[in-house]
């Protein structure tokens, strides 16, 4: 007699074989991580790492946003950061460094979940944290998601099965990032116990990447030099790993801040570069420039006058804005763009000072009053951002949320504490 288990086993085997044949014999690109992503901006939700005010202008050139970090990341700051950036203007995915950072809210906002598995760290970083993560999904996250979807409880036994099913499904949809961490002096290395002794030569890196692709099914191999550029050593590893991988994407991250470095790792075989620090430095730099501009410039200066002032104050070629844009190899004239975005930001910020002075003078009692005034203020950044986002109210929403605390009001707006500028 044919048993249902036998049929299920056969179906499972053939579907697995079909998948393997598709990938290796037919060379089908079934990897869910898009092949055309060449530049990823890594946004750290921790409070100290901020975003520039007109962040959609900068982010319109990157392929996707990776939201995550290894220190001081919480479920709350991850939710806030995803709320701010998801699909503005490119897709954002979440890279948790701990299970509880994944919530129903982050899951609904993120394009997908990308989970690190470190190939040259300790057991915790390869599988231990993932184990506690799977348990957390099955016992907390999945039941919560199911409860949100079902109007009435179907009973404990069915809930258990649904939770198990939802857990497997969620993991099936998850992208696994096989990390090779090569800077022992980085937070990522400390988190995963990577020491000098764990650094890999190109041949070993290739073997581990091959095992990650074939055995762990890692959609991504991630060569990580976080905070420092890996140079020729990184290029040799990328070349070796590129030779061994067939289906996984290969990303490089760490210390990128110019075009030459970005080209070097892409030419060595990386599909995409990941850029973190220098993007957050754009925000820090902007805060400093805008503070000086408010002190030194009248609010009714022309764009040309702002340009002259900026060129006298800042070496644009060496600015973080230029450095960030230079890492996106298909952006022509990064210095010109950086100048343009900085001038627009300064002009916008000067106009905002006028509006705030008016609000201060009149004495504000409600959020609608603030909104009305910002809505009618001519802001140079508004049309630029609207052209990128197709979201008319974006800048007004940000500014209302920034101004509200100044008048002891609470705006139900975007989480602007992650922005570089404030009005308190």
Ligand X SMILES: CC(C)=CCC/C(C)=C/CC/C(C)=C/CC/C(C)=C/COP(=O)(O)OP(=O)(O)O
Least Cα distance to 53 among 409, 379, 412 occurs for 379
Tell me, residue by residue from 8 to 27, as one string, x for binding to ligand 1GP by CB under 6 A and - for no binding: --------------------
Nearer to ligand 1GP, 102 or 188 (CB): 188
Long-range (24+ apart) CB contacts under 8 A made by 301-304 are 301/350, 303/343, 303/347, 303/380
Nearer to ligand 1GP, 254 or 381 (CB): 254
Measured CA to CA, the distance from residue 337 to residue 332 in angstroms comes to 8
Asked whether position 115 contacts ligand X by CB under 6 A, the answer is yes
In contact, 385 and 57? CB cutoff 8 Å: yes
Asked whether position 224 contacts ligand 1GP by CB under 6 A, the answer is yes
Q: Is 249 helix (H, G, I), strand (E, B) or coil?
A: strand
Q: How far is the CB of 83 from ligand X (least distance, A)?
A: 19
Measured at CB, which residue is nearest to ligand 1GP? 253
Asked whether position 99 contacts ligand X by CB under 6 A, the answer is yes
Strand partners, 386: none
Asked whether position 181 contacts ligand 1GP by CB under 6 A, the answer is no
DSSP string over 137-181: IIIIIHHHHHHHH-SS---HHHHHHHHHHHHHHHHHHPEEEEEEE
Asked whether position 192 contacts ligand 1GP by CB under 6 A, the answer is no
Measured CA to CA, the distance from residue 259 to residue 265 in angstroms comes to 10
Asked whether position 184 contacts ligand 1GP by CB under 6 A, the answer is no
Among ligand 1GP, ligand X, none, the one that 275 touches (CB under a kind-dependent 5 to 8 A) is ligand 1GP
What is the Cα 140 distance to its own chain's centre?
25
Asked whether position 121 contacts ligand 1GP by CB under 6 A, the answer is no
**Contact partners, residue 387, CB within 8 Å, separation at least 6:** none
Nearer to ligand 1GP, 284 or 294 (CB): 284
Asked whether position 130 contacts ligand X by CB under 6 A, the answer is yes
Q: How far is the CB of 245 from ligand 1GP (least distance, A)?
A: 18
Asked whether position 269 contacts ligand X by CB under 6 A, the answer is no
User: Which structure tokens are listed for 274?
Assistant: 């990941």
Measured CA to CA, the distance from residue 72 to residue 205 in angstroms comes to 30
Asked whether position 192 contacts ligand X by CB under 6 A, the answer is yes
Q: How far is the CB of 197 from ligand 1GP (least distance, A)?
A: 21
Asked whether position 381 contacts ligand X by CB under 6 A, the answer is no
Nearer to ligand X, 137 or 278 (CB): 137
Query: Among residue numbers 238 through 297, which ones bind ligand 1GP (CB under 6 A)?
Result: 253-256, 274-278
Asked whether position 223 contacts ligand 1GP by CB under 6 A, the answer is no
The DSSP code for 221 is: E
Measured CA to CA, the distance from residue 421 to residue 424 in angstroms comes to 10
Measured at CB, which residue is nearest to ligand X? 133
Measured CA to CA, the distance from residue 277 to residue 297 in angstroms comes to 30
End-to-end CA separation in angstroms for the chain: 76
Asked whether position 400 contacts ligand 1GP by CB under 6 A, the answer is no
Footprint of ligand X (CB under 6 A): 42, 68-71, 96-99, 102, 115-116, 118, 125, 129-130, 133-134, 136-137, 179, 186-188, 191-192, 226, 276
Footprint of ligand 1GP (CB under 6 A): 42, 188, 224, 226-227, 253-256, 274-278
């Amino acid at each position: 007699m044919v048993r249902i288990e036998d049929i299920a086993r056969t179906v499972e085997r053939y579907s697995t074989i079909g998948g393997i044949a598709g990938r290796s014999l037919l060379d089908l690109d079934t990897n869910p991580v898009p092949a055309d992503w060449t530049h990823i901006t890594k946004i750290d939700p921790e409070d100290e790492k901020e975003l520039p005010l007109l962040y959609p202008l900068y982010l319109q050139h990157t392929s996707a946003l990776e939201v995550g970090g290894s220190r001081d990341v919480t479920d709350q700051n991850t939710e806030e950061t995803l709320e701010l950036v998801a699909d503005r203007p490119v897709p954002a995915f979440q890279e948790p460094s701990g299970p509880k950072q994944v919530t129903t809210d982050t899951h609904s906002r993120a394009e997908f979940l990308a989970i690190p598995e470190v190939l040259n760290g300790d057991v915790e970083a390869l599988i231990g944290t993932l184990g506690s993560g799977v348990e957390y999904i099955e016992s907390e996250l999945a039941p919560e998601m199911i409860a949100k979807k079902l109007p009435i409880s179907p009973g404990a036994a069915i809930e258990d099965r649904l939770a198990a099913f939802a857990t497997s499904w969620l993991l099936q949809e998850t992208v696994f990032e096989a990390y090779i961490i090569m800077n022992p002096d980085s937070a990522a290395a400390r988190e995963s116990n990577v020491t000098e002794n764990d650094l890999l030569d190109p041949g070993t890196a290739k073997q581990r990447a091959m095992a990650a692709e074939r055995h762990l099914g890692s959609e991504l191999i991630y060569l990580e030099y976080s905070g420092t550029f890996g140079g020729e050593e990184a290029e040799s590893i990328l070349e070796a790993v590129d030779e061994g991988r067939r289906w996984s994407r290969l990303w490089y991250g760490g210390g990128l801040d110019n075009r030459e470095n970005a080209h070097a790792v892409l030419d060595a075989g990386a599909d995409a570069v990941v850029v973190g620090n220098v993007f957050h430095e754009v925000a820090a730099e902007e805060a400093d420039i805008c503070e000086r501009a408010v002190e030194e410039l009248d609010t009714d200066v022309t764009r040309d006058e702002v340009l002259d002032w900026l060129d006298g104050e800042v070496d644009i070629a060496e600015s973080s804005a230029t450095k960030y844009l230079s890492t996106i190899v298909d952006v022509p004239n990064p210095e010109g763009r950086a100048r343009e975005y900085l001038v627009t930001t300064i002009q916008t910020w000067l106009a905002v000072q006028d509006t705030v002075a008016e609000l201060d003078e009149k004495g504000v009692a409600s959020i609608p009053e603030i909104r009305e005034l910002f809505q009618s203020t001519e802001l140079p950044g508004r049309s630029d951002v609207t052209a990128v986002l197709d979201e008319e109210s974006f800048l007004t929403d940000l500014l209302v949320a920034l101004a509200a605390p100044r008048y002891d009001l609470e705006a139900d707006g975007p989480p602007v504490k992650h922005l570089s500028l404030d009005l308190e």
